[in-house]
Amino acid sequence: MRRYFAFRATRQGLVAIYDALLFLMVVILISEGMFLYTATTAGRNGELSDDHYQHLADTGRIMVEALSLNESYPMPMIEWSNSTDNETRPLDHWVAPSEADTVQWLLDSFVELTRRNEDESGSWNGTYDTGTIMPIVNAIFAENRLVGTDHAWLFLYLGEVELFGSNAVGSVEDLPEDRWASSSNYTLVVNEPTVISYEAELRYFIWLQ
């Protein structure tokens, strides 16, 4: 048991170092990119082009998706239950573990567990409470914002909004018209036995303060 805890502590330490290096690398790339990219995108009045801000939107989304769980945001606990029993375990006990427990992995896991809950064949013999996943995703997005911009994030599952957050606006309807968007496809395609597509998408928005 001691060896397990030592391994777990070492793994968490490596993840923390990985995240710190990743964040530093992205900051350096953005800083250098801002300097070099501006030379080719700035107009006569010193304004930056749409391509420049689109690049920042893409970079910001990718950066947050790559961040891992840490001491501040540990592994979410998921309850499974049916008519006769219930059990609560860490998320990585219910879904396939990953090399790093990133925001991307959290969103993939949310889609997987949600589609299990909707499986009418009864293959999973119970339901999973996914309510602990999205608050962590929301908090990590909230803490990571490019200086000089406001931002918002939106996660859709089967066309329904499962998560919306922003440092500046309260709803999707309040998003400013002058904004840049970047998206990731989280659609899950399974064969049960016919092909079924569980559509999901992450959208990330930035605009100037």
pLDDT digits (tens, 9 = 90+) for 35-46: 333 333 334 444
Provide the pLDDT for residue 11. 55
In this prediction, residue 83 carries a pLDDT of 87
Domain ranges, ordered by start, for the chain = 1-47, 50-208
Mean pLDDT of the residues in the chain: 84
* pLDDT-derived band at 192, boundaries 50, 70, 90: confident
Beta strands per DSSP E along the chain: 77-81, 86-90, 127-129, 149-157, 160-166, 180-185, 188-191, 195-198, 200-208
Owner of token pair 């303060």 = 209
Phi and psi dihedrals of 77, rounded to 5? -95, 130
CA distance linking residue 55 with residue 51, whole number of Å: 6
Q: What percent of the chain has pLDDT over 90?
A: 63
Distance CA 74, CA 147 (A): 26
Q: Is 200 in contact with 187 (CB distance < 8 Å)?
A: yes
Beta bridge partners of 185: 201
Q: How far is CA 14 from the centre of its chain?
A: 20
Q: How confident is the model at residue 120, as a pLDDT?
A: 76
